[in-house]
Structure 1
Amino acid sequence: MSSGHDAELVSALQSAAKSLIERRSIDDMEHALGQIVLAAVETVPGAAAGGISTTTDGRIESRSPSGDDVLHLDQRQAELHEGPCITASEEPPDDGVVIAEDLSNDPDAARWPRFAPHAVESGYLSMMSTQLSFDGRTRSALNLYSRRAGTFSEAARTLAGLFAAQAGLLLYGAAHAEHLTQAVDNRDVIGQAKGILMERYTVDAEQAFQMLVSSSQATNVRLVNVARWLTTDVGRPPAARTGRPSIDIRPGPTPKR
């Protein structure tokens, strides 16, 4: 690559990284993903459009498409369960990159026979999908489209891999932030439930927690759900209660000394 192209790449990656670092919410995260996609489209040789697809428990979602045509093609791949992005997400090669050199001709037209006509009709002859991440439940791919056949070179693969790595880190961080938020919420709910039991039964914090544990084990209900039931249902006036089955949460017999 030329020094000018190297500088362009560095600038694009720095811009995408800045967007990633400055995100403060889910909306900001989606904006950062969009910036990464746009930077990839502008930087990767031959790319004319792009987007990110995520697959969670078999459900495929289009993220940050650069245009309605990309959204349409992502949706077609999801509906048909066929196309380069599906292959990159579910059956990726060792390097995680799937390239359709020419969707108007074999072997690519034969490899994805139902999807290929949609891409050609939309004006895209080649496509490159690069796997972003795999965490067991969620698989993702950066998808780049070109209006020319055979346009994605080794340099294009390398550049796409760099942008895919950034997008993958962003999605990974967002998922773990969500898990941490849920953990904090669960801790707060359990704390509130312990407070209710401590006040109602004049027990200490450890005894209140053991009451929750015993109730969870006796009813085969997750501890946090027992706590949530206690804080949202028991504390309400009778007329406002949800009508869900009650959970017996009382201290056990005092052990004999």
Structure 2
Amino acid sequence: MTQLHQHDLAVRMAELARTVAAPRSLDEILSGVTMTAKELIPGVDAAGILLVGKGGSFESLAQVTDLPHLLDELQMKFEEGPCVQAALDDVIVRTDDFREESRWPRYSPACVEMGVMSGLSFKLYTADRTAGALNLFGFQPRTWDVEAETIGTVLAAHAAAAVLASRQGTQLESALSTRDRIGQAKGIIMERYKVDDVQAFEMMRRLSQDSNTRLIDIAQQVIDTRG
């Protein structure tokens, strides 16, 4: 890696680090990662991110062009491919030439038909589980080397950090919303039945247990009957 290239990489990594901490949407941050991959890694003609959702579902995000989304759909259809393999199993999945790739007998010919000859996918890690994969595609075969893998690994780490921060923020918002609704329901019960907050909470807890209903759902029912 040349000194100039190292400097460019360091500058872009610093910019991406700031975006993770800044108040931007997850899609904006991930789009920055894929665009940076296209700029810094020679031979990247398309890039995208495949996220793993609950129950093993997948979500295609942050595409530089529509091509990664189309390729992700093919992988979902065929239940095979490098992006899924990187998201669930291997850390780095590299294909130098899809015309010679035998791991995915249905997906590989479809890539060639769409003009994609090479692919490079990186697993996104979070603290508790795999988040998905950063996926790069090229129209030329035998495009990438160890340097490309190194840069892609760093970019994948930034993407994983953004996903983790987003999930933690969503969990915090959900927890605050739950606390607020339970508090609101307690206030309604206290006023309606002239009890204190401990007794009001105990009433909701008992109802939740007896009816096998989540406490937050009981709270919402109380709020809904306020009128």
SS of aligned partner of 1:196: helix
Deviation at 1:220, TM superposition (A): 0.9
CA deviation digits over 1:142-175, x for unaligned, max 9? 0011222222211111110000000000011101
Percentage identity across aligned positions? 34
Deviation at 1:131, TM superposition (A): 0.3
- The runs of at least 4 aligned residues of structure 1 exceeding 3 Å deviation read 134-139
Instruction: Mark the CA change 1:138 to 1:97 in structure 2 (over 3 Å): closer, same or farther.
Output: closer
Instruction: Mark the CA change 1:134 to 1:16 in structure 2 (over 3 Å): closer, same or farther.
Output: closer
**Larger mean Cα displacement after TM superposition, 10-19 or 202-211:** 10-19
Deviation at 1:138, TM superposition (A): 6.0
Query: Match for residue 115 of structure 2?
Result: 123
1:91-170 superposed matches below 5 A: 91-92=89-90, 96-105=91-100, 108=101, 110-133=102-125, 139-170=131-162
Query: Match for residue 70 of structure 1?
Result: 68
Cα separation, 1, equivalents of 2:42 and 2:65: 18
Q: Residue type of the partner of 1:186?
A: T
TM-score normalized by the length of structure 2 = 0.94
Structure with more relative contact order (C-alpha pairs < 8 Å, separation 6 or more) = 2
SS of aligned partner of 1:111: coil
8 Å CA contact 1:51, 1:142 repeated in 2: yes
8 Å CA contact 1:23, 1:32 repeated in 2: no
Segments of 5+ residues of structure 1 without an aligned counterpart are 237-257
Query: Match for residue 47 of structure 2?
Result: 50
Q: Cα RMSD between the aligned structures?
A: 1.6
Which has the greater radius of gyration? 1
The counterpart of 1:37, out of the listed 17, 34, 38, is 34
SS of aligned partner of 1:150: coil
8 Å CA contact 1:103, 1:117 repeated in 2: yes
The counterpart of 1:201, out of the listed 168, 190, 193, is 193
1:7 aligns with 2:7: yes
SS of aligned partner of 1:119: helix
Query: Match for residue 179 of structure 1?
Result: 171
Instruction: Mark the CA change 1:137 to 1:229 in structure 2 (over 3 Å): closer, same or farther.
Output: farther
Segments of 5+ residues of structure 2 without an aligned counterpart are none
| Count of matched residue pairs | 226
Cα separation, 2, equivalents of 1:48 and 1:123: 11
Instruction: Mark the CA change 1:222 to 1:80 in structure 2 (over 3 Å): closer, same or farther.
Output: same
